[in-house]
């Protein structure tokens, strides 16, 4: 198997070990402040992925313990704090979000024929598609077991609706695969559904647990959704400009999979009809080689697709920050602003 750095054209025969990125001071401070809560969440994750069927915890551990930053559990903790809720039910609910996230990544790596995840060989490559799908199902089922920790119907509704929306988003993306006519609106609708909705749920849950009114719940949902869109926008940009060992995933995968993301959608809107045909043919072949991936990466840069996508990401973070600006000053509010900045700057 070959791994490939799109900037240098260098090839590696092995994936690089996962290097934990140095976090910005602010985020470090936030993580430290919620360290005890995150440790309890970790206990739930460790206990609940166990099974007497040894293959299940073996595969679960591979992905759960691979350096994920627990952004969704963290957001739930901070948003609960923001509205003054500190009950124990936060911890299993935060684990629910992390399990749903992890299950979706196991399934996503099968769908995307991924080779790497968080700097390690992905589970589908090691154990195969069937085992990955089943362990994703197991974690997803465990999430619903943990969800019974809350008898609040609004909590259950938010989590189940988020999950169905994620599947819809991923399915629309599949339908739109390789479609060079895809619009920006369609792209944003996909990433709102497949990615942003779970961060929106994390933030909304904080307000719901605190018994806040629907106005506050909707505000937090919108805030989380903007963070989620930013997260996916930076992810989609890093797929073209990231350095593999920092990104922890194979660079250039989106184009090989026919995934239409904003940097490419932007460039396709600016280019000539013949360039557009050329790009469509490469994507349609489903077998883009390294040279063709580099050609597309250069094409995107030439038309400013990277700058455009990053500017949009920065715009979403600004909007998210503005949404919570009217809230009273607190550590939790500062923490949310730090997480927002971190999501924009990660690995760039
Ligand atoms: C990563 O996107 C994938 C997602 C954000 C969501 C995947 C959702 C599903 C598979 C459906 C929901 C499934 C369950 C079990 C709840 P990406 O491929 O753009 O990012 P990547 O580079 O990290 O792979
Ligand atoms: Mg993927």
pLDDT averaged over every residue in the chain? 91
Contact predicate 176/190, CB 8 Å: yes
The bound ligand whose nearest atom lies closest to the alpha carbon of 170 is 1
- Rounded to the nearest angstrom, the distance between the alpha carbon of 108 and the centre of ligand 2 is 5
Domain ranges of the chain: 24-345
Residue 201 alpha carbon to ligand 2 centre in Å: 21
User: What is the number of residues in the chain?
Assistant: 348
Question: Where does ligand 1 bind, in terms of residues with CB under 6 Å?
Answer: 100, 103-104, 107-108, 112, 114, 136, 140, 163, 166-167, 170, 194-195, 235, 249
Give the model confidence (pLDDT) of 48-66 as tens digits. 999 999 999 999 999 999 9
Q: Whose CA is nearest to atom 11 of ligand 1?
A: 167
Pocket probe for ligand 1: among 71, 100, 108, 244, the residue whose CB has the most ligand atoms within 8 Å is 108
The Cα-based distances of 293 to 134, 254, 289, 303 in angstroms read: 32, 10, 6, 16
- Secondary element (H or E) of residue 3: strand 3-4
In angstroms, the Cα distances linking 298 to 59, 170, 242, 274, 302 are: 37, 27, 14, 16, 6
Of 160, 169, 170, the one to substitute when testing ligand 1's pocket (max ligand atoms within 8 A of C-beta) is: 170
CA–CA distances in Å: residue 9 to residues 92, 291, 302, 306, 347: 44, 9, 18, 18, 19
Ligand 1 centroid to residue 194 C-alpha, Å: 6
**Closest ligand 1 atom to Cα of 109:** 24
Assess if CATH 3.40.1800.10 describes domain 24-345: no
- Read off the pLDDT of residues 318-337 as tens digits, 9 standing for 90 and up: 999 999 999 999 999 999 99
Q: At what angle do helices 55-64 and 90-111 cross, to 10 degrees?
A: 100
Lookup: tokens for 242: 């990231």
Determine which helix (DSSP H) or strand (DSSP E) holds 88, and give its type and residue range.
Answer: none
Q: pLDDT band at residue 25, thresholds of 50, 70 and 90?
A: low
Summarised one tens digit per residue, pLDDT across range 210-236 is 999 999 999 999 999 999 999 999 999
* pLDDT digits 0-9 by tens, 247-300: 777 778 899 889 999 999 999 999 999 999 999 999 888 778 888 988 999 999
Confidence of residue 12 (pLDDT cuts 50, 70, 90): very low
Residue to mutate (ligand 1; options 99, 105, 110; most atoms within 8 A of CB): 105
Ligand nearest to the CA of 106: 1
The pTM score is: 0.92
Q: What is the pLDDT of residues 64-118, one digit of tens each?
A: 999 899 999 999 999 999 999 999 999 999 999 999 999 999 999 999 999 999 9
Report which ligand 1 atom has the smallest distance to the Cα of 111.
10
């Amino acid at each position: 198997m070959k791994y490939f750095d799109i900037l240098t054209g260098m090839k590696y025969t092995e994936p690089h070990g996962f290097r934990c990125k140095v976090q910005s001071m602010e985020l470090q401070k936030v993580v430290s402040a919620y360290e005890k809560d995150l440790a309890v969440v970790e206990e739930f994750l460790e206990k609940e992925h166990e099974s007497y069927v040894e293959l299940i915890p073996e595969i679960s551990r591979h992905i759960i313990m691979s350096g994920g930053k627990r952004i969704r559990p963290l957001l739930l903790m901070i948003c609960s704090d923001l509205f003054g809720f500190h009950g124990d039910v936060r911890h299993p609910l935060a684990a629910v979000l992390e399990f749903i996230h992890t299950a979706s990544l196991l399934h996503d790596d099968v769908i995307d024929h991924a080779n790497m995840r968080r700097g390690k060989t992905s589970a589908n490559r090691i154990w195969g598609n069937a085992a990955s799908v089943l362990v994703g199902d197991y974690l997803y089922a465990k999430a619903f077991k943990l969800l019974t920790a809350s008898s609040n119907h609004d909590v259950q509704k938010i989590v189940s609706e988020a999950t169905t929306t994620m599947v819809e988003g991923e399915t629309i993306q599949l339908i739109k695969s390789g479609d060079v006519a895809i619009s920006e609106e369609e792209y944003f609708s996909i990433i709102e559904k497949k990615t942003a909705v779970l961060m929106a749920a994390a933030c909304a849950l904080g307000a719901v647990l605190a018994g806040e009114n629907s106005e506050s719940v909707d505000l937090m949902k919108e805030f989380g959704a903007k963070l989620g869109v930013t997260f996916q926008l930076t992810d989609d940009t890093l797929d073209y400009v990231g350095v593999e060992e920092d990104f922890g995933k194979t660079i250039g995968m989106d184009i090989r999979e026919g995934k239409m993301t904003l940097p490419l959608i932007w460039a396709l809107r600016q280019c000539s009809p013949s360039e557009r045909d050329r790009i469509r043919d490469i994507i349609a072949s489903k077998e883009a080689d390294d040279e063709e991936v580099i050609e597309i990466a250069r094409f995107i840069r030439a038309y400013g697709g990277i700058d455009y996508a990053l500017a949009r990401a920065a715009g979403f973070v600004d909007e998210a920050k503005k949404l919570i600006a009217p809230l009273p000053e607190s550590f939790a509010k500062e923490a949310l602003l730090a997480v927002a900045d971190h999501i924009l700057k990660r690995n760039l």
